[in-house]
């Protein structure tokens, strides 16, 4: 038995990579997530309108960050995500329209307004889009994205790695197929499956958790397609740097974990320290979350979602491009050096 | 006649030399066999031959059009989750064979005796049948050059014989066949032999030429010889005398292929 | 002298698949017994029964006169196909572990001294096999069980390995070897040829090939002759411009090739592979 223990110790000491992972990673993760995890709201974006707007704006507590937005219709402003709160002032008092889809912000705002008064009259709060401030309504859209991410990246990467391990990837390379044929062929079936998955998850969300769906399915579909593109491309990218299935799973989990905590799914992005928030801006789930919440809870129109959609498209192009490049490099069938 | 092959090819992998100045010829209508152990470099040579790996030195002569090449990688070549018929159909469509492919598939199924197994998953075939399917897939597009990496490794003698008949058939159709193997006795089956050891060519030619090119004499002894040019085979020793004089008490024998290869390997090591 | 390993009609079934079907086996001290067969012939399953890792479904098997098990295994040295070495440890560390596990003092291995501190993963295959052999023999076993010991090594390493195996056998150790290389058959004192779990034949090379002959065919149109023979149901092995038909009679071959011009036939003794093919067919 002693001999066994001695041997195992020697082996572990030599395996620097696992040691690094076991010691360095927990510390890193703690620091990053420590800064990310915050339910506190640092800034509530508020638009103030009405005849006494200027006065009121000046007297609002610091948590309310005034945004310079032209408000014709408070509901529309909120729907477009231009502000978290629209405070419509009047000589007799004020109404605060609160965006219920921003859960923590809404709660903080309502609490503040309940204790405040404008022009001597209490502020009436009207919570739009998620009147009950229901957590699942806010979580489910993003969760759908998370599930897609998991399946998309993990399953796709395993599919390619399996083929490489079986040796058949080489054979494909020698056949008259282009690298992009192989790439698209590999992700196409997963595209279909993932789309079906998305529909099922959202349906269950609607059925069991009463998650609303007030916006355009086509818009959500567009967002989902772009998101899937990035996700599956990420899967292929992971497979090009993994030698075996174990490594692929490790990498897939490593790209998954940050997205759970840094994408705004649970902890609002605005509340994160600046350095950590930037990480969030690089993640595809962040944008899908914005799109899904916007469409499902608020019925946000296309032009208000152009930025997340555009960024997803950009991410998609980058990931796809990288994956195809690496694929081509790996399957690099060179031209005949000399025709016989 | 256009001959395919490698000219003075060198391949370096991770700082180690996988192939060093290797010359190899594959003639249409004939079978060239590349013999060597696992690390001899034969799989690397096969991959360079089909273009999966660009050599770091030397030239490769192969058909310019990938549709004219058939390749079976080592220990693979079939998709386990597809049936026999689906595997063949995929190759046919990847090579854009159209309706000619259908007839060709039928003919190959007949030749490999796989007609009754078309609906079976490739992963469930016996080793011999699976290899035959893999070779059939490589032969399907009637390629100008067919490269088969370790097609016979681990098979029983009957399956091996059947596989070699398939290769002979491919050669008869005009294909230039390059087969790699770790079995020295397959040298007798081929038209051309190249023996590889540690990335270098140890011997080349027909089996007869290699035997004839042996320098020195071989003898058999019942007792141990201390020179270092002797090795056991069964209960006796095979003794190699490079300069032609054999030790007392030993009897001269004609060298077989294994003797020639072992002697060449010793000569290389001593020449280092 | 008692047999080190003795098996009579031993077999092993897995659900509906019979991996080993009635094998007789005996290894005496100082002799090298070879199990020859393709992948899937049942060699590894038989070995595992000898080692006592799995129990036979029928038949009997004894190791050092008793039931194969952990105690009996102390007297044998096993070199599996995968070598059984720790890739991330050095040669010396591997040997130290092996000695300690067997409870023996670590012996000096002068020929491995130059690579003592090299990590196994960085050694070429030939050297790795030598280390594996040293690890398997560090406790002076009476029996060696080697599963495909020369797989993947070049000609020199293979010759050296067989020299080492013979030296061990000369010293009185019994050796049980499995291989799928026909040309290693001559290295063994006795052979057992296996196919699909069954024993095709057993004995020395001479005994196995006795009485079996092949017909050698020289024909100008080899491809055509091959086709004719195939049609007549005769297995023909092509090679070096001629064909060999194992286990056939000249008259039958002549009949099949009637009408082909310039055909010359000769009956020659079968080699081991041809004998194997002939015996499997019957």
Query: What whole-number distance in Å separates Cα of residue B50 and Cα of residue C169?
Result: 46
Q: Which of the four pLDDT bands, split at 50, 70 and 90, describes residue C58?
A: very high
Nearest to A174 among B51, B60, B78 (CB): B51
| Two tokens, residue B17 | 């030399």
Query: Which residues 135-164 of C are in CB contact (within 8 Å) with A?
Result: none
Report yes or no: A8 at the C interface, CB cutoff 8 Å.
Answer: no
Which 3 state secondary structure label does DSSP give A90? Answer: strand
Which 3 state secondary structure label does DSSP give C91? Answer: helix
- Structural Rg of chain B based on CA atoms: 21
Q: For position C15, what pLDDT does the model report?
A: 85
Query: What whole-number distance in Å separates Cα of residue A218 and Cα of residue C20?
Result: 62
Distance of CA A186 to the CA centre of its chain: 24
Which 3 state secondary structure label does DSSP give C80? Answer: coil
Distance from CA of B40 to the nearest CA of C (A): 7
Q: What is the mean pLDDT of residues B28-50?
A: 90
Q: Which of the four pLDDT bands, split at 50, 70 and 90, describes residue B61?
A: very high
Q: Decide: C9 and C22 in contact? Cβ < 8 Å.
A: yes
Report yes or no: C277 at the B interface, CB cutoff 8 Å.
Answer: yes
Q: For position A215, what pLDDT does the model report?
A: 86
Secondary structure element (H or E) that encloses residue B101, with its range: helix B99-111
Query: Which residues 35-94 of B are in CB contact (within 8 Å) with C?
Result: 36-40
Predicted confidence (pLDDT) per residue in C205-222, tens digit:
899 999 899 999 988 888
pLDDT at C88 over 70: yes
pTM: 0.80
Q: How many residues does chain A have?
A: 340
What ipTM was predicted for this assembly?
0.85
**Strand A93-99 relative to strand A85-90: parallel, antiparallel, unpaired?**
antiparallel
Q: Which residue of C has its CA nearest to B260?
A: C155
Q: For position B1, what pLDDT does the model report?
A: 64
Predicted confidence (pLDDT) per residue in C118-136, tens digit:
888 888 888 888 899 998 8
Running DSSP on this structure, what letter comes out for residue C142?
S
Q: For position B136, what pLDDT does the model report?
A: 93
Bigger pLDDT: C275 or A43?
A: C275
Q: How far is CA B67 from CA B146, B173, B174, C30, C155, in A?
A: 11, 16, 16, 57, 37
State the helix-helix crossing angle for A156-166 and A179-209, rounded to 10 degrees: 140
Q: Which of the four pLDDT bands, split at 50, 70 and 90, describes residue A337?
A: very low
Report yes or no: B240 at the A interface, CB cutoff 8 Å.
Answer: no
Bigger pLDDT: C43 or A329?
A: C43
Q: What is the mean pLDDT of residues B54-61?
A: 91
Q: Do C88 and A6 touch (CB under 8 A)?
A: no
Predicted confidence (pLDDT) per residue in C96-106, tens digit:
888 888 888 87
Q: Which residue of A has its CA nearest to C86?
A: A11
Q: For position A338, what pLDDT does the model report?
A: 39
Query: What whole-number distance in Å separates Cα of residue A108 and Cα of residue A63?
Result: 9
pLDDT at C46 over 90: yes
Q: Decide: C163 and C171 in contact? Cβ < 8 Å.
A: no
Q: How far is CA C7 from CA C23, C59, C77, C146, in A?
A: 7, 8, 19, 17
Which 3 state secondary structure label does DSSP give C4? Answer: coil
β-bridge mates for residue C246, sequence order: C214
Number of A/C CB contacts below 8 angstroms equals 19
**Strand C5-14 relative to strand B251-253: parallel, antiparallel, unpaired?**
unpaired
Query: What whole-number distance in Å separates Cα of residue C156 and Cα of residue B240?
Result: 13
Q: What is the mean pLDDT of residues A5-14?
A: 80
The span from the first CA to the last CA of chain A, in angstroms, equals 63
DSSP annotation string for C173-227: -EEEEEES-GGGGGGSSEEEEEETTEEEEEE-HHHHHTT-EEEEEE-S-HHHHHH
Q: How many residues does chain B have?
A: 272
Nearest to B74 among A167, A333, A337 (CB): A167
Half-sphere exposure of B226 toward its Cβ, with a 13 Å CA cutoff? 0
The span from the first CA to the last CA of chain B, in angstroms, equals 38
pLDDT at C182 over 70: yes
Tokens 């979350």 map to which residue? A289
Reduced 3-state DSSP string for B50-87: HCCCCCCEEEEEECCCHHHEEEECCCCCCCCCCEHHHH
Q: For position A340, what pLDDT does the model report?
A: 34
Report yes or no: A171 at the B interface, CB cutoff 8 Å.
Answer: yes
- What subunits make at least 3 CB pairs under 8 angstroms with A? B, C
Q: Do C88 and A3 touch (CB under 8 A)?
A: no
Q: For position A120, what pLDDT does the model report?
A: 66
Report yes or no: A6 at the C interface, CB cutoff 8 Å.
Answer: yes
- Structural Rg of chain C based on CA atoms: 22
Q: What percent of chain B has pLDDT over 90?
A: 37
- From the candidates B111, B156, B173, which should be mutated to test the interface with C, based on the most C CB atoms within 10 A? B156
Q: Which of B68, B48, B58, B67 is nearest to B2 (CA)?
A: B68
Report yes or no: C101 at the A interface, CB cutoff 8 Å.
Answer: yes
Q: Decide: B144 and B109 in contact? Cβ < 8 Å.
A: no
Q: What is the mean pLDDT of residues B72-100?
A: 88
Bigger pLDDT: C207 or B111?
A: C207
Contacts of A16 in chain C (CB under 8 A): none
Kindly report the backbone phi and psi dihedral angles of residue A11, in degrees, each rounded to the nearest multiple of 5, phi listed first: -65, -40
Range with the poorest average pLDDT among A89-93, A200-204, C8-12: A89-93
Query: What whole-number distance in Å separates Cα of residue B9 and Cα of residue A59?
Result: 82
Q: For position A332, what pLDDT does the model report?
A: 61
Distance from CA of A327 to the nearest CA of B (A): 13
pLDDT at C166 over 90: yes
Contacts of A7 in chain C (CB under 8 A): 86, 89, 93, 97
Tokens 């082996």 map to which residue? A11
Q: Which of C3, C10, C22, C16 is nearest to C195 (CA)?
A: C22
Q: What is the mean pLDDT of residues C268-276?
A: 90
Q: What is the mean pLDDT of residues B201-227?
A: 87
Distance from CA of C117 to the nearest CA of A (A): 13
Q: For position A305, what pLDDT does the model report?
A: 87
| Two tokens, residue A143 | 């969760």
Q: How far is CA C65 from CA A306, C27, C74, in A?
A: 82, 12, 14
DSSP annotation string for A183-220: HHHHHHHHHHHHHHHHHHHHHHHHHHH-----S-HHHH
Query: What's the angle, vertex CA A256, arms to CA A252 and CA A259, rounded to 5?
Result: 155
Q: For position B45, what pLDDT does the model report?
A: 93
Query: What whole-number distance in Å separates Cα of residue A280 and Cα of residue A277?
Result: 5
Q: Decide: C190 and C202 in contact? Cβ < 8 Å.
A: yes
Q: Which residue of C has its CA nearest to A10?
A: C89
pLDDT at A175 over 50: yes
State the helix-helix crossing angle for A245-262 and A16-36, rounded to 10 degrees: 20
Q: For position A165, what pLDDT does the model report?
A: 78
pLDDT at A339 over 60: no
Predicted confidence (pLDDT) per residue in A205-246, tens digit:
888 888 888 888 888 889 998 998 888 888 888 888 887 888
For chain C, give the mean pLDDT: 88
| Two tokens, residue C146 | 């080697």
Q: For position B19, what pLDDT does the model report?
A: 92
Contacts of B164 in chain C (CB under 8 A): 237-238
pLDDT at A121 over 80: no
**Strand A93-99 relative to strand C58-63: parallel, antiparallel, unpaired?**
unpaired
Q: For position A119, what pLDDT does the model report?
A: 63
Q: Do C97 and A2 touch (CB under 8 A)?
A: no
Q: For position B179, what pLDDT does the model report?
A: 95
Nearest to C239 among B182, B189, B197 (CB): B189
**Strand A64-66 relative to strand A44-49: parallel, antiparallel, unpaired?**
parallel
Nearest to B66 among A166, A175, A340 (CB): A175
Tokens 């969760």 map to which residue? A143
For chain B, give the mean pLDDT: 88
Q: Decide: A236 and A323 in contact? Cβ < 8 Å.
A: yes
Q: Which of A162, A323, A325, A307 is nearest to A232 (CA)?
A: A323
Which 3 state secondary structure label does DSSP give C262? Answer: coil
Bigger pLDDT: A271 or C157?
A: C157
Report yes or no: A170 at the B interface, CB cutoff 8 Å.
Answer: yes
Q: What percent of chain A has pLDDT over 70?
A: 96
Q: Which of C101, C96, C39, C44 is nearest to C70 (CA)?
A: C101
Contacts of C89 in chain A (CB under 8 A): 7, 10-11, 14
Q: For position B272, what pLDDT does the model report?
A: 62
Range with the poorest average pLDDT among A178-192, B14-28, C201-215: A178-192
Q: For position A310, what pLDDT does the model report?
A: 93
| Two tokens, residue B102 | 């259908």
pLDDT at C194 over 80: yes
β-bridge mates for residue B19, sequence order: B11
């Amino acid at each position: 038995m002693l001999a066994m223990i001695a041997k195992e110790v020697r082996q572990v000491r030599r395996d620097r990579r696992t040691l690094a992972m076991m010691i360095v990673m927990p510390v890193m993760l703690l620091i990053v997530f420590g800064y990310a995890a915050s339910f506190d709201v640092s800034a509530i974006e508020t638009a103030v309108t009405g005849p006494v707007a200027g006065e009121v704006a000046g007297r609002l507590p610091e948590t309310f960050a005034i945004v310079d937005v032209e408000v014709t219709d408070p509901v529309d402003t909120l729907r477009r995500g231009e502000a978290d709160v629209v405070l419509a002032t009047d000589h007799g008092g004020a109404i605060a329209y609160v965006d219920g889809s921003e859960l923590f912000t809404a709660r903080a705002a309502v609490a503040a307004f309940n204790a405040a008064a404008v022009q001597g009259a209490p502020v009436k709060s009207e919570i739009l889009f998620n009147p009950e401030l229901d957590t699942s309504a806010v979580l489910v859209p993003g969760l759908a994205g998370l599930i897609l991410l998991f399946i998309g990246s993990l399953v796709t990467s395993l599919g390619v790695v399996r083929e490489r391990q079986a040796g058949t990837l080489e054979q494909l390379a020698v056949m008259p197929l282009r690298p992009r044929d192989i790439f698209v062929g590999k992700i196409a079936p997963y595209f279909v499956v993932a789309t079906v998955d998305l529909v099922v998850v959202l349906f269950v969300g609607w059925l069991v958790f009463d998650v609303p769906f007030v916006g355009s399915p086509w818009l959500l579909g567009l967002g989902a397609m772009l998101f899937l593109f990035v996700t599956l491309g990420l899967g292929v990218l992971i497979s090009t740097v993994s030698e075996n299935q174990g490594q692929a799973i490790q990498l897939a989990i490593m790209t998954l974990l940050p997205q759970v905590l840094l994408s705004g799914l649970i902890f609002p992005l605005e509340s994160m320290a600046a350095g950590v928030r930037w990480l969030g801006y690089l993640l595809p789930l962040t944008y899908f979350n914005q799109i899904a919440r916007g469409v499902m809870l608020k019925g946000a129109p296309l032009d208000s979602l152009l930025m997340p959609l555009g960024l997803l498209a950009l991410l998609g192009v980058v990931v796809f491009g990288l994956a195809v490049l690496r694929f081509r490099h790996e399957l690099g069938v060179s031209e005949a050096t000399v025709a016989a | 006649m256009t001959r395919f092959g490698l000219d003075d090819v060198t391949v370096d992998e991770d700082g180690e030399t996988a192939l060093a100045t290797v010359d190899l010829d594959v003639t249409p209508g004939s079978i060239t066999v590349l013999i060597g152990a696992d690390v001899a470099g034969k799989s690397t040579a096969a991959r360079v031959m089909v273009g999966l790996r660009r050599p770091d030195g030397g030239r490769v002569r192969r058909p310019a059009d990938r549709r004219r090449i058939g390749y079976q990688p080592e220990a693979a070549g079939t998709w386990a989750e597809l049936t026999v018929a689906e595997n063949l159909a995929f190759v046919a469509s990847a090579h854009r064979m159209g309706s000619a492919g259908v007839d060709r598939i039928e003919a190959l199924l007949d030749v490999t005796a796989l007609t009754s197994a078309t609906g079976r998953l490739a992963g469930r075939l016996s080793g011999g049948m699976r290899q035959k399917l893999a070779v059939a897939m490589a032969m399907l597009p009637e390629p100008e050059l067919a490269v088969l990496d370790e097609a016979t490794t681990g098979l029983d003698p009957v399956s091996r014989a059947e596989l070699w008949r398939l290769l002979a058939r491919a050669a008869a159709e005009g294909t230039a066949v390059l087969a790699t193997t770790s079995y020295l006795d397959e040298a007798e089956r081929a038209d051309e032999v190249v023996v590889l050891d540690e990335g270098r060519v140890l011997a080349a030619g027909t089996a007869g030429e290699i035997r004839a090119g042996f320098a020195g004499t071989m003898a058999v002894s019942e007792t141990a010889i201390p020179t270092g040019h002797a090795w056991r085979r069964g209960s006796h020793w095979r003794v190699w005398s490079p300069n032609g004089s054999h030790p007392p008490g030993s009897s001269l024998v004609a060298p077989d292929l294994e003797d020639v290869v072992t002697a060449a390997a010793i000569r290389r090591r001593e020449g280092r | 002298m008692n047999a080190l390993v003795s098996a009579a009609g031993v077999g092993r079934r897995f659900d509906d698949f019979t991996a080993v079907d009635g094998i007789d086996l005996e290894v005496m001290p100082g002799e090298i017994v070879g199990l020859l067969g393709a992948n899937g012939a049942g060699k590894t399953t038989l070995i595992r029964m000898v080692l006592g890792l799995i129990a036979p479904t029928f038949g009997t098997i004894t190791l050092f006169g008793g039931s194969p098990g952990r105690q009996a295994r102390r007297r044998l040295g096993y070199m599996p196909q995968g070598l059984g070495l720790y890739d991330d440890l050095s040669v010396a560390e591997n040997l130290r572990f092996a000695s300690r596990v067997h409870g023996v003092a670590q012996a000096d291995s002068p020929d491995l001294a130059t690579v003592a501190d090299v990590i196994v993963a960085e050694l070429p295959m030939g050297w790795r096999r030598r280390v594996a052999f040293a690890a398997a023999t560090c406790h002076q076993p009476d029996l060696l069980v080697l599963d495909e010991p020369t797989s993947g090594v070049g000609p020199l390493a293979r010759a050296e390995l067989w020299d080492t195996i013979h030296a061990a056998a000369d010293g009185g150790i019994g050796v049980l070897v499995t291989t799928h290389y026909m040309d290693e058959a001559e290295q063994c004192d006795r052979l057992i040829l296996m196919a699909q779990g069954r024993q095709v034949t057993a004995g020395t090379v001479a005994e196995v090939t006795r009485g079996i002959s092949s017909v050698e065919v020289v024909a100008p149109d080899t491809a055509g002759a091959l086709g004719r023979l195939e049609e007549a149901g005769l297995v023909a092995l092509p090679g070096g411009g001629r064909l060999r038909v194992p286990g056939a009679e000249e008259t039958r071959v002549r009949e099949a090739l009637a009408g082909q011009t310039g055909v010359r036939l000769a009956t020659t003794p079968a080699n081991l592979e041809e004998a194997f093919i002939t015996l499997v067919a019957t």
